[in-house]
Each structure stands twice: as C-alpha cells, then as structure tokens.
Amino acid sequence: YTMITPEISEIRDMPVGAFISTVVPQSPASKAGLKRGDIITKVNDTALDEKNSLSSMISKAKVGDKITLTVDREGKELILTAVIEAAPESFK
C-alpha cells in the first residue's frame, strides 16, 4: 500500500489513507474483500494519517483479532472486517 498524505489528497482529490496497490490472494486483506484501488481511511474508527499508518495500526492487533476497515471504493464508503492472521514463514 501507499499512504495518501493530506497534500496528495488535496492534489488528487482522494481521501487521506492507505491506497491498496496489490492484494495477495488468500491473504487476510483478500478474505476481507479488499481490492486493488481501495483506500483504507480508518482502522477501528481511528483515521489513518502520518501518525497512524496502516502497518502501525495492524501491528497493535493480535492474531485472531477482528478489525474494522473503513474503505473508500470509487467514492463509496464500505465497512469491511478483517481477521488478523500469523505472518507466513516466508514473511518472517
């Protein structure tokens, strides 16, 4: 993902958040319904910004926790739920 800063948000007329560039098949993101081009704007009601990145918010959760994602998809707001899974051995 790439963080959309307030500056980029203003220039590109996009919401501030995490722009999803790739979704790995069978990943928690894929299972939650995220798609390439989605912008995650909140995790559990906390807005994503320079102080709260997507990775920092996810790192606070434990394996098995459910997190709520507020997503902008082509201008429409969606609420998705993801379940935190352990990282595969190949990622450790």
**pTM attached to this predicted model:** 0.91
| Closest among 79, 59, 76, 57 to 68, alpha carbons compared | 79
- CB of 58 within 8 A of CB of 34? no
The span from the CA of 68 to the CA of 60, in Å, is 13
Contact criterion met (CB below 8 Å) for 6 and 17: no
7-25: per-residue pLDDT in tens?
A: 999 999 999 999 999 999 9
Rounded CA-CA distance 21/24 in Å is 10
- Give the pLDDT confidence of 32-82 residue by residue, as tens digits: 999 999 999 999 999 999 899 999 999 999 999 999 999 999 999 999 999
